Structure 1
Amino acid sequence: MAQKASKFLGMLSTEKKNEALHTIADYLDQHTAAILTANEQDLQNGRQAGYDDAYMDRLSLSESRVKEFAQGLRDVAKLEDPAGEIVSDWTLDNGLQVETVRVPLGVIGMIYEARPNVTVDATGLALKSGNAIVLKGGSSAIHSNRTIVRLMKEALENTEVSSDAVQFIDSTDREATEQLFTMKEHIDVLIPRGGGKLISAVVNNATVPVLETGVGNCHIYIDKEADVEKAISIFINAKTDRPAVCNAAETLIIHSEWLAENKEALVSALNEHSITVYGCDRAVNEFPGAEKATEDHWANEFLSLDVAVKIVDEAAEAVEHIDTYGTKHSEAIVTENAQTAAQFTGLVDAAAIYHNASTRFTDGSALGFGAEIGISTQKLHARGPMGLPALTTVKYVMKGNGQVR
């Protein structure tokens, strides 16, 4: 059904697809109470299961969060439709006209954990770009996702987009997820979004092509020529704004000369925001109450108000540390030295690099995409926040007048 729906959807006008997105958004707004009731069931189960605060934050919905993802659909409707765009065109010497045209991928399989908002964001981006979508959320959000998908399909009954374009695998069985890995005859691409274990399982076992998203072990490097107010403000925002998301900072790397001059201000900020430090030997000696960092602290996401701190004497040491432990997601340097910044942005291998700005901007809505289907940390097809263009491929269309070869 999804394949058939995708072919029809791929031929619909932008206007009809936008009308469908607005209809879904309005319908979700009107049924916020039903969504929150379902979400409370998931939260109760989560509390009984002992999920940590970071996981519960990703799982939790509120009236404002429902309004946010409904508005996200309206924002996507405002964006330019990539489907049908002529990327390039030329005419051969024999008169044959060649066009490279953007076309939908077809049927997207979305495998994700915890966040019910992904159900809406992914659906909106898929439909706007002309794709059908098969959703497989985690068992922890089964009640929320079940209700949200039911409402979206009901809304689509009043549009020209077939409700079959949105499919939901209503099962908590792991085998149901694993079946998606090999459904090449039904699924054109898989997109995993969640923790490292989920992403690795999909990448390592799928025979369906995978658009790989990644976890975010993100670093902030404060250079010796960093402005103190900028440095502390950027780090505090990246660490505390939403600690449980993938673009939050997990490691702070500090040049020793900067720390010698600004230690008191930084320690005060850390204490004010109740940030726990796990550091290298030098950091343990500099920061009151700091504990020795383990390999796990350097390599993995905290998703909490904890941070790993490393003190270096050269910018090159910061780059080396990021090369060793970074996940190619988002990295930042704070410095007033343009040359140092250029070297850092040129050498660090990541989907998003920041100079004097927070890593929290690695987000589809923050970068003007309306919403995102995930952050790609791979280098093929798409990289960084994946908006509408990332959900298309190209088709070569040739127009002739009887030419033969």
Structure 2
Amino acid sequence: MNTILPIEKRNAVLTTMASLLEQERESLKSINQHDLSNYSGEDLAMEKRLLVDDAKVNGMILSLQQLASQEDPVGQVRFTFTHENGMKISNKTAAFGTILIIYESRPDVTVEAGGIAFKSGNKILLKGGKESLLSNQKIVSLWHQALENNGVSTDWVEYLNYDRVQTQEFLEKPTQKVDLIVPRGGEKLIEFTKKHATCPVIVSGRGNNFVYVNEDADLEKAMVIIINGKTSNISVCNALDKVLIDTNLPNWEVFAKQLVTELEKFKVTVLGDEAFAKATGVPAIENDLIWYEEFLDYKIVIGTINSNYEAIAKINKYCGGHSASIITENEALAQEFMDNVDASSVYHNASTRFTDGGQFGLGGELAISTDKLHQRGPIGLQHLVTNKWYVYGEGQIR
């Protein structure tokens, strides 16, 4: 069992790790090229997540520096009470113990998620995908060096090089105590983890995010927000998949045609519901099941609705519980939308692409939870803790 490390030690390891990544930047990028050349898959989104370039390394280093500068999430007092018999009772945040992170293709998770779990006092088990094995092994060797340089045991960070069968065995009968599992990846990975895990799982959910263009929308804002949400990065869970246009919008058909023209400039495949397809000439959707889909591709579905109530109901039925945005100049209506849409992050006149721990000021995230327990949306340092009760007495009995 690892006793919790003093915060100074945890911060020193994070700072050392940031320096090592800078020193080993070229070596890591070259090892990553081997992973990329071994990856023969057709999945464009997967390939983008697999790549480690200078921008990715910069992001890893920045997240470690931000983590090192944040206050300790462990031992924060959340509640105090003095019992009538004189006992002093307090509730404080506490580390989980050991956290298993299961993820696909993203070597930066080995740094960012590992760093968040470590800073919050936890031992980390990392189970990365086979496609990023060489990159991950290099990063874990740097973690071990950072730990050793600070006189800390390397078993705080452990890499599990398991295939699917071994992973299932470990989930069902762990060879060491695991307190929390965080799967980061597609729906199949999440379902697999939930099915076999014997301890709590935080679901890092799918996207399928919506933008609703209300009749009082500023159409210039709507256009740039939709284009940014759909095209700036297709491989992430905060990308945009669905647009709803209010048919009470004056000349909505004109805006619809302009929107299709702009999206097609980025080679986005546009599908529409019956009314949108009729107004613009794009292919119509075959059935309503497509509204449930997350695309992770240059593809979008655009539909029409005729009231705010209908927009909220449609989003709550189909969206993944991740992010939804309303474009409107009517603030009261925006607030009603934000209060009633059941998603982890709701927006007024902004792109869903901001649902991210770094963008929300958390210094990165372990995952973006679409569950409601115990934290929704980006899970930062301050959320990756459980709690415990401290009771101080002088011989009191009940």
TM-score, normalization: structure 1? 0.93
Give SS of 2:64's match.
helix
Tell me, yes or no, if the aligned pair for 1:374 and 1:386 is still in contact at 8 Å: yes
- Give the stretch that moved more between structures: 339-348 or 177-186: 177-186
- Counterpart of 2:190, as a letter, is I
- Counterpart of 2:278, as a letter, is N
In structure 1, distance between residues paired with 2:45 and 2:24: 27
Percent identity, aligned pairs only? 39
Give SS of 1:253's match.
strand
**Where do residues 3-402 of structure 1 align in structure 2 (5 Å cutoff)?**
4-5=1-2, 7=3, 10=4, 12-46=5-39, 48=40, 50-171=41-162, 173-183=163-173, 186-258=177-249, 259-260=252-253, 262-295=255-288, 297-402=290-395
Cα deviation, residue 293, structure 1:
4.8
Tell me, yes or no, if the aligned pair for 2:253 and 2:280 is still in contact at 8 Å: no
Tell me, yes or no, if the aligned pair for 1:169 and 1:176 is still in contact at 8 Å: no
Unaligned runs of 5+ in 1: none
Q: How many residues align?
A: 395
Give SS of 1:292's match.
coil
Cα deviation, residue 183, structure 1:
4.3
In structure 2, distance between residues paired with 1:402 and 1:85: 26
- Counterpart of 1:179, as a letter, is E
Cα deviation, residue 295, structure 1:
4.3
In structure 2, distance between residues paired with 1:293 and 1:43: 36
Tell me, yes or no, if the aligned pair for 1:183 and 1:208 is still in contact at 8 Å: no
In structure 1, distance between residues paired with 2:141 and 2:329: 52
Cα deviation, residue 103, structure 1:
0.7
Give SS of 1:340's match.
helix
TM-score, normalization: structure 2? 0.95
- Cα RMSD of the aligned pairs, angstroms, is 1.6
Tell me, yes or no, if the aligned pair for 2:14 and 2:146 is still in contact at 8 Å: no
Unaligned runs of 5+ in 2: none
Cα deviation, residue 243, structure 1:
1.2
Give SS of 1:181's match.
helix
In structure 1, distance between residues paired with 2:135 and 2:10: 25
Tell me, yes or no, if the aligned pair for 1:79 and 1:369 is still in contact at 8 Å: no
Cα deviation, 1:304-355, whole Å, max 9, x if unaligned, reads 2210111111122222221221111111111111232122112211111111
Cα deviation, residue 268, structure 1:
3.5
Cα deviation, residue 214, structure 1:
0.6
In structure 1, distance between residues paired with 2:198 and 2:264: 49
Q: 1:229 to 1:335 in 2, by over 3 A?
A: same
Q: 1:277 to 1:293 in 2, by over 3 A?
A: farther
Tell me, yes or no, if the aligned pair for 2:253 and 2:279 is still in contact at 8 Å: no
Cα deviation, residue 264, structure 1:
4.5
- Counterpart of 1:135, as a letter, is L
Cα deviation, 1:15-49, whole Å, max 9, x if unaligned, reads 22111101001101111122112211211121x2x
Cα deviation, 1:166-189, whole Å, max 9, x if unaligned, reads 000123x11221133234651011
Cα deviation, residue 267, structure 1:
3.2
In structure 2, distance between residues paired with 1:160 and 1:390: 28
In structure 1, distance between residues paired with 2:360 and 2:169: 34
Give SS of 1:157's match.
helix
Cα deviation, 1:180-232, whole Å, max 9, x if unaligned, reads 32346510111111000000111122111111111111111111111111111
Give SS of 1:246's match.
coil
In structure 2, distance between residues paired with 1:295 and 1:261: 25
Tell me, yes or no, if the aligned pair for 1:112 and 1:138 is still in contact at 8 Å: yes
Cα deviation, 1:219-262, whole Å, max 9, x if unaligned, reads 11111111111111111111111111000011111112332353
Tell me, yes or no, if the aligned pair for 1:81 and 1:128 is still in contact at 8 Å: yes
In structure 1, distance between residues paired with 2:105 and 2:311: 33
Cα deviation, residue 111, structure 1:
0.6
